[in-house]
Chain A
Amino acid sequence: MNNLHINKIVDFSYVDGPGNRLVLFLQGCNFNCQYCHNPETIPERKAKSYTVEETFNYIIKRKDYIAGVTASGGECTLQWEPLMKLFAKLKEQTQLTTFIDTNGNVCDKKMDALLGYTDGFMIDLKAVNYDTHKRITGKGNEQVIKTIKKAVKHNKLYELRYVLIPEINDSKNDLKDLANFIKYLNAETYLMLIPYRNQGVVGEFKSLPSMTEDQYNRILKTMYSLGLEKIIKKRNFFCKN
């Protein structure tokens, strides 16, 4: 596979890593989350196909304005080969940083290959508990946890993302597990706690209520009391605009 299958390109994004970033949303995913907000990126049906060269040229035109490029999805590591080529080219010819936003379900071999050309990873952790994870994604989380550890080992875990789903993965025990896991990682990382919203969800979780601001703030407090205040990334998810 030499081409990148791109669902969408966002020229300027302020929420996908450090600084202003160009984000490539690659097509295809190996999970099937019950709350996926980008279900259109899951099936491997034909997205627009670009050569590495074309994608590179598109980025170069915008290079003065961005800190770097983030590959997202879907699950961008499914297209690890052309992605690696693109990142290698960026590393060779520009100062831009390269980031990957992944669900962590990527085998060691591919992860090792990508690590050489990637500055940072943003990894989703759907649940620490195996069964909960399976319930949400349809698959277990051993590989995800392995991937997270690998990124930490290389000092490249930029951000861990956790979507708080009411009654699914937000119990006291879930939060404790999460806090313990992060402490065990002993990593310099951000934790982004994202409140679940049912808007746009098509899967089974569609009927779940969105998390309220009150619920979210209570959880933040719990996490602070568990000693995570410093690493939690603050963002106003409940702004009316």
Chain B
Amino acid sequence: MGKNQKKILSIISDETLTVAQKKHFLSIEGENMLPYVNVSAETRRFYEQGILCDLYEGNAPYRPRYVLPDYQKLLENGSEFLGLKPPQDFFEAIQTLLIAYNHVPSITGKPVYLGNVDTLLQPFTGGVSECELYKQIKWFLINIDRVLADGFCHLNIGPYDTLVGRMILKAERELKQPVPNISLKYCAKSTEDAFLEEAAKTALITGKPHFHNHNLIKEQLGDYGVVSCYNNLLIGGGSHTLVRINLLKLAKEADGLEDYKENLLPLAVNSAAELANKRNEFLVEESKFFDSDFLAQEGLIDLDKFSSMIGIFGLAEVANMFSSGKYGKDEETNKLGLELVKLIYDKLTEIEGKYCKGTANKLTLHAQSGISEDIEETPGTRVPIGDEPDLYQHLCAVIPMHKYFNSGISDIFIFDQTVKDNPKAMCDIIKGAMKQGIRTFTANQKDSDLIRVTGYLIKKSDLENFNSSKKNLQLSGNLGAEAVVNQRILNRKVRKLNE
């Protein structure tokens, strides 16, 4: 048996995968029979050494990594391809969304964006009793958890207080499901305190929603959605690809900090951009996705709203390597981290992004939240697990970074259980962080049944299944379990009183 055949057989005979998951992995093997998109020798070297990585997207992209259909348009016009007329009532609206989700491509094969669901559904609530609404919303969420079954499926709510939004939060507290991932768009002007508090209560039980700085993101991007982990992209658009730079691996090649800053970083950013651009070109020009997919044909997505992301991770380790203090706790080390981020950001804005009209023909910067195989490197620009300073210091250390990551960043703040009886306290902290310019605030409560892995959630029981080689409905459950083992996720510092 040849090497490739062995690989395929190993997927087919893997007892921890469901059939659907096997199909997913087999399709990747098929794609990878084609050669990798053509890049320069330097870029290829970075790629082969793992300094650049495309997160196993595959050699020959035939669908964008992240797609954000304009569901508003779908509900207004229906879809010819899907054979759906515009929905007339709440039931039809929900069914329309559920059907559409199953036809939205992405890198995982599952839709990473589910829409700003409260805004989408609220207009259909007339004449339906609250009891019936709640039941439908609850089963809508159960359907997403069991059918889509992927932790990267991301639903948005807010910034306005709606009945549907509140019911989603209530149902989530009741269901405690890892899927879907949820984000609340928070705006000091338009988000009512009571609605924020509902969201905080839910976050204290389930670790979701993430809280996003609506004004900041809207100003930088336009009409955005939050997808996958916590990525900010245009509605009706998306991201063709994501290429990430392993800042630590790159630093190990450097002859000191100056060499790193002046030579290696610019080189790596250039190569990452080249890789992304080549993949963008292949997707648009060779696979002709945008000419042939119904989403594009029916105007639910528009190539002109797309972009591509350059991710970075392992900043903490690099800052620690080139300074005598500890990133997160030491001001000088934090400053160095910020300086490196600025450098990368500036370099990236000098380069043209192909097919990136959605972000003014630039590639966008992303604090990549890591994947299960990262062992030495901390996700994005986060403070390493276990090194987190007190919450106030933590906020001060990370917030200055947030504005540079126009396609998303998140830091996870863990609260001890005393906050459960006082969700207003969490709201105060979130509001303060927003005022100070945080982009995304992610909270986790220590004794929650759901564990936030990088950007997504898994159940503690998924972890146990994985450890005893049982199947998980969600593929993200397996990835999460691996990550828990590799990244000491359960050791995150708990905010305790009187520490």
Binding site for B on A (CB under 8 A): 8, 10-15, 18-21, 62, 64-67, 233-236, 239, 241
Contact = CB atoms under 8 A, between A and B. Distances in A.
Contacts of B428: 19-20, 65-67
B422 A19 contact: yes
Interface in B131-178: none
A241 B446 contact: yes
Nearest to B496: A241
B424 interface: yes
A241 B429 contact: no
22 contacts: A12-B391, A12-B392, A12-B425, A14-B418, A14-B419, A14-B425, A15-B418, A19-B424, A19-B427, A20-B424, A20-B428, A20-B429, A64-B435, A64-B436, A65-B392, A65-B431, A65-B433, A67-B425, A234-B421, A236-B417, A236-B420, A239-B417
Given A10-B498, A13-B497, A239-B447, A67 B424 contact: yes
A66 B432 CA distance: 8
Given A19-B422, A20-B426, A233-B421, A65 B416 contact: no
B199 to A, nearest CB: 16
A236 B419 CA distance: 11
Contacts of B431: 64-65
Nearest to B422: A14
Contacts of A10: 497-498
A115 to B, nearest CB: 24
B424 A18 contact: yes
B286 to A, nearest CB: 50
Contacts of B415: 14
A241 B436 contact: no
Nearest to A11: B392
A96 B416 CA distance: 24
Given A18-B424, A20-B425, A241-B417, A12 B447 contact: no
Contacts of B392: 11-12, 62, 65
A239 B447 CA distance: 10
Interface in B409-463: 415-422, 424-429, 431-433, 435-436, 446-447
B497 A64 contact: no
Contacts of A65: 392, 395, 428-429, 431-433
Centre residue among A8, A14, A15, A21 by max chain B CB count within 10 A: A14
A235 B429 contact: no
A66 B426 CA distance: 10
A71 to B, nearest CB: 16
B495 interface: yes
B390 interface: yes
Contacts of B495: 12
A227 to B, nearest CB: 22
Given A64-B431, A66-B428, A67-B428, A15 B391 contact: no
Contacts of A234: 421
B391 to A, nearest CB: 5
Nearest to B417: A239
B432 A235 contact: no
Given A14-B418, A241-B447, 5 more contacts: A14-B419, A14-B425, A20-B428, A65-B395, A236-B421
A65 B434 CA distance: 10
A27 to B, nearest CB: 16
Interface string B342-355: 00000000000000
Interface in B363-417: 390-392, 395, 415-417
Contacts of B395: 65
A19 B421 CA distance: 10
Interface string B477-499: 00000000000000000110110
A241 B416 contact: yes
A233 B417 CA distance: 15
Contacts of A236: 417, 420-421
A190 B21 CA distance: 53
Contacts of B427: 19
Contact of A64 (B418, B421, B424, B432): B432
Contacts of A18: 422, 424
Most buried by B among A20, A21, A62: A20
Contacts of B419: 14
B498 to A, nearest CB: 6
B229 to A, nearest CB: 25
A47 to B, nearest CB: 16
A62 to B, nearest CB: 6
Given A11-B390, A11-B392, A20-B428, A235 B421 contact: yes
B404 to A, nearest CB: 21
A176 to B, nearest CB: 27
A65 B431 CA distance: 7
A64 B399 CA distance: 13
A112 to B, nearest CB: 30
A133 B432 CA distance: 42
Nearest to B430: A65
